[in-house]
Amino acid sequence: MDYLVVFLVLVVFLQTRITDLRRAVICMASQSLIIACACFWLGLSYSSGFHAFVPGLLTLAVKVIFIPGAVLHLVGKLTNEREILSESNVNYSTMAAALFLVLGYALVERLLPGSAGRDIVAASILMIMTGLSMMVLRKRAIIQIVGLITLENGIYLLGLLLTQGLPLVVELGVFLDVLIAVVVLVILTSRMRLSFMTTDTSVMKKLKG
């Protein structure tokens, strides 16, 4: 499990540095894969049988295969090179991510001292904050989708750890939510590409009355 957390933190840090859209999506997929592994591992360790594997399988299907596939398909349509390379200086994002990690650990020390899953909590806080900051700071719609998934993964991981597996109905609902959100986002982004010839969300300011 510790290795998984290390990989997760590594992937998230990598994600803050990536400017290429395709790599960002692959990074997101691998992040989701780690989450799925964590899911299986937790399922085994608590030995709650079949119930524990369903979320893992769902994560695998939705977040590792379907969503990245759809987004990659969208990226494939973006022919403009300038589109594919993102713009901003990524060093600040990385530094912010480091700060978030420190914050996460500080929080765990205060709130859950001596807890077994302190690394996981810290990592999930890192993911939540990084996802949020990606949505706020980046202008490319695709990166913002990646940020949303990162945020979602973080919340999911935290929930998984704290509750030792949510009820199945809730899990299904959460996945449906994410799925629909991403489908809508992908559709919107592709409409945006058709209308504005770009996926830069800053052009949307023109729409303001």
**Contact positions toward another protein, by CB under 8 A?**
103, 106-107, 110-111, 125, 128-129, 132-133, 135-137, 144, 201, 205, 208
Burial of 14 (0-12, 13-18, 19+ CB in 10 A): middle
Q: What is the DSSP string of 84-104?
A: HB--S--HHHHHHHHHHHHHH
Q: Which is nearer to another protein, 136 or 194 (CB)?
A: 136
Smallest gap from residue 100 Cβ to another protein (A): 9
Q: Which is nearer to another protein, 54 or 137 (CB)?
A: 137
Q: Is residue 68 within 8 Å of residue 25, measured between CB atoms?
A: yes
Q: Which is nearer to another protein, 49 or 209 (CB)?
A: 209
Q: Which is nearer to another protein, 90 or 135 (CB)?
A: 135
Smallest gap from residue 208 Cβ to another protein (A): 5
Smallest gap from residue 186 Cβ to another protein (A): 17
Which H/E stretch holds residue 164?
none
Helix ranges (DSSP H) in the chain: 2-17, 21-46, 50-59, 67-77, 81-84, 91-111, 118-137, 141-163, 168-196
Smallest gap from residue 161 Cβ to another protein (A): 17
Interatomic CA distance for residues 209 and 206, integer angstroms: 8
Smallest gap from residue 169 Cβ to another protein (A): 27
Q: Which is nearer to another protein, 170 or 204 (CB)?
A: 204
Q: Is residue 127 within 8 Å of residue 153, measured between CB atoms?
A: yes
